[in-house]
Structure 1
Amino acid sequence: MTIPVIEWQVTDASDRLDRYLADCLPDISRSHLQRLIEQGQVWVNGQVCTSKKVGIQAGDRLQVAIPEPQPLSLEPEAIPLEILYEDDALLIVNKPAGLVVHPAPGHASGTLVNALLAHCPHLPGIGGVQRPGIVHRLDKDTSGAIAIAKTDQAHHHLQAQLKAKTARREYLGVVYGVPATNSGSLDFPIGRHPIDRKKMAVVPESAGGRRAITHWRIEERLGNYTLMHFQLETGRTHQIRVHSAKMGHPIVGDSVYSSGRFVGVNLPGQALHAWKLQLQHPQSGHWISAIAPPPESFTTLLTILRRRITV
């Protein structure tokens, strides 16, 4: 199958390649164009260019091949979704603990993406073949609010908000022990664990860690446990779980980063819930605040811990 190619000549000295293409092709998001550059689908003066930062000059001849969206090998599955907000551009759902967000080795089906394809059949091609519409992620065993883009423009806009830290993500979690102060911030870089590659860890930036910042405050003291409010400034893999363990107060029920002590409640995952998601609508610019009610297991845990301190 022939891939359609767009070709033109630059008339004025301009910016770097990806920005120039985004101005010339407003119907294609900049993130999509960056992927095309990385995939070798862009030529500058007859040579494949895989650097999005290369400078474009007057007289340069550009060619862009735009493949048709690849068909998904994933099957839609009628998995129930708890919808917190939805319109033509955006969907926010309350993901249950135990549900994997997108396909990965060992999870080829039964994911949030499979459920989304059944709910929104037009998602293929938005944000990638295996992750259609997914803007950010939640760990399998973390519940709560997650945003899904329903158009390419919305996907680009929402990702830009996360990068610029204008989108606000707030979590509730129950930790072991009680912090010495009422609030604070954790600023420790996070990277892949040097020995156990399935885990993340606090890793110096010089060794590949990426800066990670978590703000926290105590919501309620529960004897030897604490209900905490977390706000993410960055979004590293397992960030709250790693930072909580680093401060000596790991998340209850976290089998990876805590001792896994039984607390009297059969939790489906760690006691961590993405409680609130605040972002700007990608079309109207209006602020949207979606609150995800905690799952029954989370509220049951709080009830049991409250009873213990009153006995």
Structure 2
Amino acid sequence: MVACDAAAHRALSAKIAAREVVREYIALVAGCPPSRTGTIDAPLGRDHRARERVVVGGRRPRTAVTRFEVRERLPRAALLDVRLETGRTHQIRVHLEAIGCPVVGDRRYGSGSAPGYGLERQFLHSRRISFAHPVDGRPVELESALPDDLEAALERARRD
């Protein structure tokens, strides 16, 4: 997270903790969820065997909720709009893998057999964040277009 100064950073961090910030992502996943929309409500904690990994359950699990909607079904993948209700480390990646739809290109939580579509990284992009300005309360919405490498991978997935 980037802020103009320490006070703004603290205010924005407080908004995130209070779940007053809307965070939306776009993800390309291997396979396709069984329903067009869904909510994954599964607590996340550290893996007992490998502390750097996050797992459903695990050591000291914390509430984690992820909502998704299938934007586009592809031959071997699906493009999802994803919205965080909570913000745990690796939440989207772990939740999508838990329902059998790992993020394309995710070497830590993804399936080794999942198509990569020529990516050197995972296909998970923060596309929108919105919140009330911490000083004057006016709505702030920041959007980010899909980067070129993800656009190219999406085109390859459509032709697959």
TM-score, scaled to structure 2: 0.93
Equivalent residue for 1:287, pick from 127, 139, 155? 139
Write out per-residue CA displacement over residues 98-137 of structure 1, whole angstroms, 9 at most, x where no aligned residue: xxxxxxxxxxxxxxxxxxxxxxxxxxxxxxxxxxxxxxxx
The match for 2:23 is 169
User: Does the residue aligned with 1:148 lie in a helix, a strand or coil?
Assistant: coil
User: Does the residue aligned with 2:121 lie in a helix, a strand or coil?
Assistant: coil
- In 2, Cα distance between equivalents of 1:200 and 1:297: 27
Residue type of the alignment partner of 2:43: P
User: Does the residue aligned with 1:169 lie in a helix, a strand or coil?
Assistant: strand
- In 2, Cα distance between equivalents of 1:262 and 1:155: 38
Q: Do structure 1's residue 260 and structure 2's residue 112 form an aligned pair?
A: yes
Q: State the shift of 1:293 in Å.
A: 1.1
User: Does the residue aligned with 1:294 lie in a helix, a strand or coil?
Assistant: coil
Contact residue 27 and residue 103 of structure 2 kept, 8 A: yes
Write out per-residue CA displacement over residues 202-242 of structure 1, whole angstroms, 9 at most, x where no aligned residue: 116xx410110001110000012000111001110000000
- In 2, Cα distance between equivalents of 1:266 and 1:182: 26
- In 1, Cα distance between equivalents of 2:90 and 2:45: 10
Q: Which has the higher contact order (CA 8 A, sep 6+)?
A: 2
- Structure index of larger Rg: 1
- In 1, Cα distance between equivalents of 2:149 and 2:159: 15
Write out per-residue CA displacement over residues 248-278 of structure 1, whole angstroms, 9 at most, x where no aligned residue: 1111111011223363633131110011111
The match for 2:36 is 182
The match for 1:297 is 149
The match for 1:26 is none
Unaligned runs of 5+ in 2: none
Unaligned runs of 5+ in 1: 1-146
For the aligned residues, what is the CA RMSD? 1.5
Equivalent residue for 1:192, pick from 38, 43, 46? 46
Q: Do structure 1's residue 216 and structure 2's residue 40 form an aligned pair?
A: no
User: Does the residue aligned with 1:228 lie in a helix, a strand or coil?
Assistant: strand
Percent identity over the alignment is 36
- In 2, Cα distance between equivalents of 1:293 and 1:223: 24
Q: Of Structure 1 and Structure 2, which has the larger fraction of its residues in strand?
A: 2
1:266-281 equivalences under 5 Å are 266-281=118-133
Residue type of the alignment partner of 2:14: A
- In 1, Cα distance between equivalents of 2:112 and 2:25: 20
